[in-house]
Amino acid sequence: MSTPVHDDPLSRERAHLAASRSALRAMREDVQALDISDVTANWVNAAVLERQIEDRIKALADLSETPLFFGRLDYLHAPGAERAEGAEGERFYVGRRHVHDADGDPMVIDWRAPVSQPFYRASKKDPQDVSLRRRFGYTGGDLTAYEDEHLSDPGEAARTSRLLQREIERPRVGPMRDIVATIQPEQDEIVRAGLSGSVCVQGGPGTGKTAVGLHRVAYLLYAHRERLARTGTLVIGPNRSFLHYIEQVLPALGELTVRQATVEDLVGHVEVRGADEAATAVVKGDARMAEVLRRALYSHVSAPAEGVVVVRGSRRWRVPVYELEEIVRELLARDIRYGAAREALPRRIAHAVLVQMERAGEAPDDRVQDAVARNTAVKAAVKEIWPPVDPAKLVLRLLTDADFLAEHADGVLTEEERKAVLWAKPARSVKSARWSPADAVLIDEATDLVERTHSLGHVVLDEAQDLSPMQYRAVGRRCTTGSATVLGDLAQGTTPWATRSWAEALGHLGKGEAVVEELTAGFRVPTDVIAYASRLLPHIAPGLTPVASIRENPGFFEVRGTPGEGTPGEGTAAALAACGELLAREGSVGLIAADARVPELAAALGAAGIGYVGPGEETTHDTRLTLVPASLAKGLEYDYVVLEEPRAVVDGEPDERTGLRRLYVALTRAVSGLIVTHTAELPPQLAS
Ligand SMILES: Nc1ncnc2c1ncn2[C@@H]1O[C@H](COP(=O)(O)OP(=O)(O)OP(=O)(O)O)[C@@H](O)[C@H]1O
């Protein structure tokens, strides 16, 4: 007997998909049909409301390539209900967004809802009241497969999911995608950690740190939407191309409002046109600079030289020096910013005058206090005692005036360190100065000393290991009243000031209480490739756990070289040949090389008629090759990678450890295969 077409489980699931899609369409049409003319009294309200409606319509779009749901949970009992004998179970479809039918009953539940959590966390050991977990497989937009786990059935053995495996092995094209269908239990714990606490994730290449950080933002926005809409969220990445690579993940999850920035963007008070020597940048990025800046700023506050005399009508009121001193001392002792104290000072002086007036039998009110605070004598005294300070000018002076620096860095910086930070060619003005990235961070610190920086609700800091202590402080002051998710890998730190320990870094960030979690399961790099790259670990970050690849496909891995026999151009030719081979396969190809090698490789690709783009630029069907300078490879991934001349990657850095770390980053970008080409000797640390 043949089964009727609609009665096999797959057809039933397809029917539910079709019904969910029409329900979503109906939800969209409801919003589109909203007539706001009755509810908006003026055009400003109307414009705001229209904008909200447009956003809502966008959020309700049904993207044909993005499955509306990817999982199903059959609960033994209705969640939250008494688990009485015979109580009805309940079924939920888990998807990217909530969809309900005309009666308001859920057709698809948001993956972030509490009832969806067992989809990610339940196991045979801990079924969490789930009898069935079903994962769906899609081809294009069509539901084509499903896979069941009967979590509460002791007779069924636990096994790894084929669909999960297929998702992980899928060739990469274009920018980063969301992983919402396959978040792993240890990742989910980080994603759903509470908003109040900060989390730090140490994880090797491809362990999903970036993915976890972005999904955490989406989760927090769901769980604390109102609060975060008020306070704001921010994702910080190392450079533009990286931000471009990740920029579509949150919109795909329906989150359109999260700002993305680099640390340089955050501290952009001046135009950065200069660069520092490594030794100089190390000192400028040291947390002790905060103390130097604080001292330099407060050196502007001077002890009152004489009392203030306020003339009002026929009367003169005198605030004596000792009383002014007391006010200043009290303001210095308070935990308020330089600028706030400066604003408070005239009111305090006015208050002292008012007290005298009252003693003399007058009854002055607030208006009198305001008037006294604005009195020219008071203003002149304030300017003398507590002058306004421009943060950029303060930093300019510290970097140009050796005596000023010596005075405020005394006992903080050594003479050598002071020499290192002083500009060789002093600039005349803030405008003409060739500010370096580290200088901009100093100005940001000074700005915060003058006026408190606005704090956001949550900040995700990716590739954190490259930040200097002063940069950590800059990020930290943007989440003083909020929390942070810090993501990084100590082995991938390639700046001269790279993070040595997370405890220290979190201290600079002001989040010393953050929990440090470790991720070690690798989703990107194939076993053979990660094993090869991990040979470097003892030299670059002893003590770190090597990544264990969970990819079943062993990957494609070859080292091709003719050491000692290299003729000019031979290396380039070998790299191009390898690219040609890999481009014959499906997926993206990255050609990674030392920055100095990029112009020659670019010219050769051009001459050979092989099209390519730069990192962060969108590849197309015809142009699947990206030429990546090693300095920009961090955080990115390609299906296949050609790594040209490892020796040159190492030699491109100021010291060997940094060079080997750069090489470690470059070696760990491949998803399906890696070809290393070389004519120079390989670094000995790569020998087994
Ligand atoms: N649970 C998962 N399911 C499917 N794919 C995943 C999962 N977790 C991570 N991935 C994929 O693995 C790859 C690496 O993830 P990601 O870039 O977040 O790693 P990372 O730890 O930030 O790496 P790096 O240190 O190199 O920056 C990405 O393609 C990501 O989508």
Whole-angstrom CA distances from 594 to 45, 189, 573, 599 are 55, 38, 16, 10
Alpha carbon of 518 to ligand 1 centroid (Å): 14
Residue 644 backbone phi and psi in degrees, to 5: -95, 130
Closest residue by Cα to atom 24, ligand 1, is 205
Average pLDDT over residues 610-616: 92
Q: Confirm or reject: Cβ of 167 under 6 Å from ligand 1.
A: yes
Q: Confirm or reject: Cβ of 182 under 6 Å from ligand 1.
A: yes
Alpha carbon of 204 to ligand 1 centroid (Å): 10
Q: Answer for the pair 236, 462: CB distance below 8 angstroms, yes or no.
A: yes
- The CATH number assigned to the domain holding 541 equals 3.40.50.300
Q: Confirm or reject: Cβ of 187 under 6 Å from ligand 1.
A: yes
- 203 has which bridge partners? 519
Q: Confirm or reject: Cβ of 260 under 6 Å from ligand 1.
A: no
Query: CA 465 to CA 485: how far, in whole Å?
Result: 13
pLDDT (0 to 100) of residue 152: 87
Query: CA 216 to CA 221: how far, in whole Å?
Result: 8
For residue 63, the 8-state DSSP code is: -
Q: Confirm or reject: Cβ of 526 under 6 Å from ligand 1.
A: no
Among residues 321, 354, 385, the one where a domain terminates is 385
Task: Say yes or no to pLDDT of 554 above 70.
Answer: yes
Q: Confirm or reject: Cβ of 523 under 6 Å from ligand 1.
A: yes
Closest residue by Cα to atom 5, ligand 1, is 168
Alpha carbon of 444 to ligand 1 centroid (Å): 33
Residue 228 falls inside a structural domain: no
What's the pTM value of the predicted model, to 2 decimals? 0.91
Where residue 624 falls among pLDDT bands split at 50, 70, 90? very high
Q: Averaging pLDDT over each range in 311-320, 428-437, 461-470, which range is the top one?
A: 461-470
Residue 540 falls inside a structural domain: yes
Closest residue by Cα to atom 15, ligand 1, is 208
Q: Averaging pLDDT over each range in 40-44, 303-307, 507-511, which range is the top one?
A: 507-511
Among residues 385, 404, 424, the one where a domain terminates is 385
Residue 434 falls inside a structural domain: no
Q: Answer for the pair 588, 639: CB distance below 8 angstroms, yes or no.
A: yes
Residue 348 falls inside a structural domain: yes
Q: Confirm or reject: Cβ of 205 under 6 Å from ligand 1.
A: yes
Neighbours of 586 (CB within 10 A): 12
Alpha carbon of 278 to ligand 1 centroid (Å): 31
Residue 474 falls inside a structural domain: no
Average pLDDT over residues 121-134: 93
**Cα dihedral sign, 99-104-109-114:** positive
Query: CA 165 to CA 549: how far, in whole Å?
Result: 12
Count CA atoms within 13 Å of residue 531 on its CB side: 11
Alpha carbon of 636 to ligand 1 centroid (Å): 10
State the Rg of the chain over Cα: 31
Task: Say yes or no to pLDDT of 279 above 60.
Answer: yes
Among residues 330, 353, 385, the one where a domain terminates is 385
Average pLDDT over residues 136-154: 90
Task: Say yes or no to pLDDT of 38 above 70.
Answer: no
pLDDT (0 to 100) of residue 88: 67
Nearest to 13 by CA among 106, 166, 145: 145
Average pLDDT over residues 518-538: 94
Q: Confirm or reject: Cβ of 178 under 6 Å from ligand 1.
A: no
- Comparing 579 with 63, the larger pLDDT belongs to 579
Average pLDDT over residues 536-562: 90
Average pLDDT over residues 7-16: 92
Question: Quick one: tokens of 144?
Answer: 């084509």
Q: Answer for the pair 101, 86: CB distance below 8 angstroms, yes or no.
A: no
Where residue 1 falls among pLDDT bands split at 50, 70, 90? very low
Nearest to 448 by CA among 339, 361, 523: 339
Angle of CA points 129, 111, 487, to nearest 5°? 110
Query: CA 47 to CA 43: how far, in whole Å?
Result: 6
Q: Confirm or reject: Cβ of 489 under 6 Å from ligand 1.
A: yes
pLDDT (0 to 100) of residue 516: 95
Query: CA 584 to CA 546: how far, in whole Å?
Result: 32
Task: Say yes or no to pLDDT of 177 above 60.
Answer: yes
Task: Say yes or no to pLDDT of 4 above 60.
Answer: no
Q: Averaging pLDDT over each range in 30-34, 332-336, 549-553, 559-563, which range is the top one?
A: 332-336
Atom of ligand 1 nearest to the CA of 487: 22
Atom of ligand 1 nearest to the CA of 489: 25
Q: Averaging pLDDT over each range in 141-145, 211-215, 424-428, which range is the top one?
A: 211-215
Residue 45 falls inside a structural domain: yes
- If one residue of 164, 246, 523 were mutated to test the ligand 1 pocket, choosing by the most ligand atoms within 8 A of its CB, it would be 523
Task: Say yes or no to pLDDT of 656 above 90.
Answer: yes
Residue 391 falls inside a structural domain: no
Residue 601 falls inside a structural domain: yes
Q: Confirm or reject: Cβ of 179 under 6 Å from ligand 1.
A: yes
Please give the annotated binding residues for ATP, written as ranges. 203-210
Q: Confirm or reject: Cβ of 640 under 6 Å from ligand 1.
A: no
- If one residue of 111, 167, 173, 524 were mutated to test the ligand 1 pocket, choosing by the most ligand atoms within 8 A of its CB, it would be 524
Q: Confirm or reject: Cβ of 184 under 6 Å from ligand 1.
A: yes
- What is the side-by-side strand order in the sheet with 259-261? 259-261, 233-236, 458-461, 483-488, 199-203, 515-519
Atom of ligand 1 nearest to the CA of 213: 18
pLDDT (0 to 100) of residue 3: 47
- If one residue of 179, 667, 668 were mutated to test the ligand 1 pocket, choosing by the most ligand atoms within 8 A of its CB, it would be 179
Average pLDDT over residues 120-125: 93
Alpha carbon of 635 to ligand 1 centroid (Å): 9
Alpha carbon of 236 to ligand 1 centroid (Å): 17
Average pLDDT over residues 439-449: 98
Instruction: Tell whether ipTM is more than 0.95.
Output: yes
Q: Confirm or reject: Cβ of 493 under 6 Å from ligand 1.
A: no
Lowest mean pLDDT among 414-418, 555-559, 568-572, 600-604: 568-572
Whole-angstrom CA distances from 643 to 565, 589, 650 are 19, 11, 12
| Side chain identity at residue 365, one-letter code | D
Alpha carbon of 482 to ligand 1 centroid (Å): 26
Question: Quick one: tokens of 177?
Answer: 């995608």
Atom of ligand 1 nearest to the CA of 669: 26
- Cα 434 vs. chain centroid, distance in angstroms? 28
Task: Say yes or no to pLDDT of 128 above 60.
Answer: yes
Q: Confirm or reject: Cβ of 183 under 6 Å from ligand 1.
A: yes
Average pLDDT over residues 121-137: 93
Please give the annotated binding residues, written as ranges. 203-210
Q: Confirm or reject: Cβ of 201 under 6 Å from ligand 1.
A: no
Q: β-strands 199-203, 483-488: how paired? A: parallel
Percent of the chain scoring above 70 in pLDDT: 95
| DSSP alpha helix (H) spans, 285-336 | 288-298, 321-333
Q: Answer for the pair 116, 181: CB distance below 8 angstroms, yes or no.
A: no
Lowest mean pLDDT among 84-88, 408-412, 456-460, 684-688: 84-88
Percent of the chain scoring above 90 in pLDDT: 75
Atom of ligand 1 nearest to the CA of 214: 18
Closest residue by Cα to atom 9, ligand 1, is 208
Closest residue by Cα to atom 3, ligand 1, is 182
Closest residue by Cα to atom 26, ligand 1, is 205
Q: Give the start-end residues of each E strand in 380-468.
A: 458-461
Task: Say yes or no to pLDDT of 197 above 80.
Answer: yes
Q: Confirm or reject: Cβ of 408 under 6 Å from ligand 1.
A: no
- Comparing 2 with 460, the larger pLDDT belongs to 460
Kindly give the interhelix angle for 570-583 and 598-608, rounded to the nearest 10 degrees. Answer: 60
Query: CA 594 to CA 658: how far, in whole Å?
Result: 13
Alpha carbon of 521 to ligand 1 centroid (Å): 10
H/E segment holding residue 677: strand 670-678
Alpha carbon of 209 to ligand 1 centroid (Å): 6
Range of the domain at 333: 308-385
- Comparing 396 with 553, the larger pLDDT belongs to 396
- The structural domain count of the chain equals 3
Query: CA 299 to CA 386: how far, in whole Å?
Result: 10
